[in-house]
Structure 1
Amino acid sequence: MTVGKDLREAVQTPGPWTTLYTDGTSDEPQAVEEAREERTLRQLADAGAPAADLDAIREIVRDRTGAADPSTLFVLVRDGEVAVREQLAGRRHGPEVFAHDPLPVVVPLLRHRGTMLRYLVVETARDGADVRLETAGHGGVETAESVEGRTDSLPKVQAGGWSQPRWQRHSEEIWKQTQSEVAEVVERLTRQASPAFIALAGDVRARQLLRDQLSPDSSALVVEVDANTRADGADDGALVHAIESALDSTIQREMATAIDASHAEDGRLRADGVEAVVASLQQAQVAQLFIDARLLEAPTGDATDTLSALDAEPWVAHSTDAIEGASEIARLPLAEALARAALLTDAQVRIIEEDYEADESVREERDPRPPFALLRW
C-alpha cells in the first residue's frame, strides 16, 4: 500500500484538522441523501469543525459524480483547505469518524486502503484482447489498452477439402501472433505496476496461446477464469467473482507471509507489545506494523490507552519527559499514535481483521491483541 505524500504531510503538520470518514454516494432518494449530508455537517460542527472547514466539506459531500455505489468518503481539511480527499469503492471498514482534533485521524483510511491491491484484467480472444489495470477500492480503470489482431484467418472448423489443414495452420499462426502482441502489453504493465495477480478470461484457445507467451514470473500471477467474457452477450459474473476471490486470497496470503517472517529466526525481527513497538518505531526499525482491528474499538479513558504524538523525531513516545528536541502535539489513542509514527518512518500499517466469516457468526469475546511489528533489522 502506497501512503502518498499528502497523507504523510498531513500527519506531520499540527492542526487543528477536521476528519471525515463516512458513507459515500448511494442510490437513495435525493431527500434522504440531503438529510444525510446535513447530519454529517451537523456532527462535524458538534465536534468543533469551523465554518471554513464545513464549507469545504459541504461541497465534497454534495458532489456525487464518478463514485461507485456503494462507496466510502475520507476527507482531511485544515483551515478550509482540503489536504486529502479519497472516494473509495466499497462499504466502510469500521465506524464513521466526525472529528476536529490537533492531528488527523488516519487509521480508518489505512484500514480501507489495506484491501486496495492493484491487478490486471485480461479478456482475450483469437482476434485481439482488452487489458486493463485496476485498483480494488478505487472503482475505476487506471490504464486500458486493446490489441487488435489480424482478421485474415478462417475458423478452425471448415467444410472440408484439401486446403483445410493449410488454413488451420495459417489461422493458428495468426492467433499465436496476436497473443504474442497481447503478451507484450501484459509484460509491460506487469513490470510497471507490479500487480498482485492477473485475471485472465476469454476464449479457451486464446488463453492457452497467451499463457504460452508469458514469462514464468507473469504466468505465476495468472488467475484463470473459465469464461469467454468477450463473446457477445457474455456475463462477466464469473470474472467479478474470480477477482474478488483472488483479492481475498492475496490479502490473506500476504498477511500470513509477513506474520511468518516476524516469527523467523526465533523472533529476532519481531517487536511484541506497545513498549517494544514504540521503541522500534523510535529507531525507525519497523518495516510492517500490525494492529488488531479490535484495538480501534477500544475505549481511551486514561493515559495508559494513549501515547504522545511528537512534532519531530522520534514522532511517538510514552511521555515527553526524556525526549529532547521534540514537543508533544497531542495524546492520541494507541492505534492512531502508532500508525502515525509508522507513516512518518515509511513503515507499512496492516490491520488484522476479525477471522469469523459470516455476519451472523458469534463473535468471540476477547480483549484486543497487543500490537506487534516486523522489523527491518
Structure 2
Amino acid sequence: MKRAPLKSSKSSVNVIKTTKKYDDAEALSAMARSISMHTAGSKQRLIAEEILRHGNVRVAGEVFTFRELASATENFNPELLVGEGGFGRVYKGHLKTTNQIVAVKQLDRNGVQGNREFLAEVLTLSLVHHPNLVNLIGYCADGHQRILVYEYMCNGSLEGHLLDLPPNKKHLDWYTRMKIANGAAQGLEYLHDTANPPIIYRDFKPSNILLDEQFNPKLSDFGLAKLGPTGEQDHVSTRVMGTYGYCAPEYAQTGKLTTKSDIYSFGVVFLEIISGRRAIDNTKPTEEQNLVAWAKPLFKDKAKFTLLADPLLEGKYPVKGMYQAVAVAAMCLQDEASTRPLIADVVTALEYLADENANDENTDDEITIPPDL
C-alpha cells in the first residue's frame, strides 16, 4: 500500500504577554547560558552547550512567569494533579488570558536531573513539529523553577486505558489500539527520518503516549531524548537511561544508542497493546512477569498467537490482523539491532492493520517470523 508523505504541522499558539520579551533564539540561548553558569555538573554544561550550538533554533512557545503558572494551576492545587513520576508533577491548568486549558509540568527542583530534562525537552520540542508529537506551548525558568507548558490531552495516557483497567472502565477495541500504535509509530518516524539531526526518543512507553478526544496519540516527555549520530557515526554513546522492561538489550549492555533502540521499545509497547499486559508485572507467576520473555516462545508457533490477545477483547479482532500484529512485534523485538525493521516499514504495516475497511480474508501476504526468536 502506497503511503502519502507525512506532512509536518505546526500548531498555532496564542501569544501570552509577559514581563520578559525575548527573540525566540535569544531566549533559548539566554536560558541555556543562565542554567549552564549556575550548574556545577559538566553534563549540564554539555547539554547547555548543545543548545547553544543550535543558534538558529526557534523556541516553540512562550516564556511564562512563575506567577502566571501558579495562577493557572490554583497554586499547584493537588486536586488538579493529573500525573506524577520521577521527573516531577503534571497539573491541569487554565491560562486565563487566552482561556486555554493546558498541562503544566513542574520538574523536580532537586537540580541536576531537572535541569537536564528541562533543557533536553525545550531543545527537542523547539526542533520538531508533528501531529503525533505533543505541542510545547511554553516554559518558565524563573529562579530555580523549571516548568513546561503543553497542550492538554483530555484522554490522558495510553497506560490509563490499557493496563490494569478498573472494572467500570471501557477497554480499547482492536482498531483503536492499532490506530494508537500507528500514530505513535508515525511520531517516531518523524523523529528518526525527518528531524534534522535525527532524534532518538529513548523513553517510549505507554505513560508517555498521550491521547486526545479522538484517541489520536502524541508522544510526550522528551527529557531523555538524544540527538542521533551524525556523519560517519552509527551510534551515540551515553549513560543508560529509560524505564526497565523497555530498554533494548544492546543499549542496556553497552550504552550504545541508535534509532533501533527505539524500535525495540516500540515492540515492547506494541506487545502491551496487543496483550493488555505490562512489560514487567511482578503480580504474575514468575515465568510470566517479563512480557517479552513470556511472549517469545509463543512467537515460534502461529497456532499460539491468539494466546497473546488481551482477554478483554473477547476474541473481537481480525485473526489474520492479529497474526500480522504479533509478527510486527516479534520483528521489532529481535535481539540483534541490525535485523529490526526501520520505523518506516513498521508504519506501513500498521497503517494497514489500523484500516477497518481492509478485507481481512484477503490478507494473504504473510509476515515471516524471524527464525532466531
Q: Verify same fold: TM over 0.5.
A: no
Which band: TM-score by shorter chain? under 0.3
The structure having more radius of gyration, on CA atoms, is 1
- More strand by percentage: 1
TM-score (norm 1): 0.24
Using structure 2 for the length normalisation, give the TM-score.
Answer: 0.25
